[in-house]
């Protein structure tokens, strides 16, 4: 990887690595940040104008550290990215670094897989039951470990879930009949 990324003298600015795979991660639990380096290879001063996330699952990734915007002089700057999946399955996004040198913008492919936390334990308890002119309303408290997904639904047509249809970890479900 070193020879193919950092020693590419055809570019004035080289971004490495060009792909980060965060692996499998419990949903709604963040990974430790991983660093991406932008290195000037020809001692050319550059202005990094923007660092952004885009793509299908950009919301599952976050920029947790960034020394690049406004950088004007060599040798390098860094961007740290974390992954916090919001659903089970594959997630992908692109980190884009826009700069003033030829070859701008440059991108890094981001990937990871969301999974349910192992050994999820759930506890459901009634918080409030009211009878009023609008019908019966009930609140249920859901207690679970971080990364343990849950979904609330009703098999009775006369009971509707008004809030808290799904979540991960602790939450509250409100229904009205």
% of the chain surpassing 70 pLDDT: 84
**Mean per-residue pLDDT for 82-91?**
94
pLDDT value at 173 more than 80: yes
Give the start-end residues of each E strand in 84-176.
89-99, 106-115, 122-132, 135-144, 149-151, 160-163, 166-168, 171-176
**Mean per-residue pLDDT for 114-140?**
73
Task: Calculate the dihedral angle through the C-alpha atoms of 137, 141, 146, 147, rounding to the nearest 10 degrees.
Answer: -40
d(CA 120, CA 90): 21
Let me know: does 72 contact 49? Beta carbons within 8 Å. Answer: no
Structure tokens at 131: 């009878």
Structure tokens at 28: 């709604």
* Confidence (pLDDT) at 29: 87
Class of the CATH-defined domain 2-115: mainly beta
The whole model's pTM is what? 0.65
% of the chain surpassing 90 pLDDT: 34
Judged by phi (left if over 0) then psi (alpha if -120 to 50, else beta), residue 135 lies in left
Task: Calculate the dihedral angle through the C-alpha atoms of 150, 62, 64, 108, rounding to the nearest 10 degrees.
Answer: 140
d(CA 14, CA 4): 10
* Confidence (pLDDT) at 89: 94
94 vs 141 pLDDT, higher one: 94
């Amino acid at each position: 990887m070193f020879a193919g990324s950092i020693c590419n003298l055809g570019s004035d600015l080289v971004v490495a690595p060009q792909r980060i795979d965060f692996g499998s991660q419990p949903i709604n639990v963040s990974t430790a940040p991983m660093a991406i380096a932008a290195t000037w290879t020809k001692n050319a001063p550059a202005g990094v104008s923007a660092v952004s996330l885009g793509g299908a699952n950009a919301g599952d990734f976050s920029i947790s550290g960034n020394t690049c915007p406004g950088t004007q002089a060599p040798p390098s700057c860094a961007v740290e990215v974390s992954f916090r999946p919001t659903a089970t399955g594959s997630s992908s996004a692109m980190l884009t670094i826009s700069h003033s040198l030829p070859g701008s913008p440059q991108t890094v492919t981001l990937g990871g897989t969301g999974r349910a936390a192992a050994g999820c334990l759930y506890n459901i308890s009634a918080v409030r039951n009211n009878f009023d002119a609008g019908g019966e309303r009930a609140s249920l408290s859901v207690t679970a470990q971080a990364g343990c997904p849950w979904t609330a639904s009703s098999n009775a047509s006369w009971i509707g879930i008004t809030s808290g249809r799904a979540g991960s970890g602790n939450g509250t479900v409100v229904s009205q009949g």
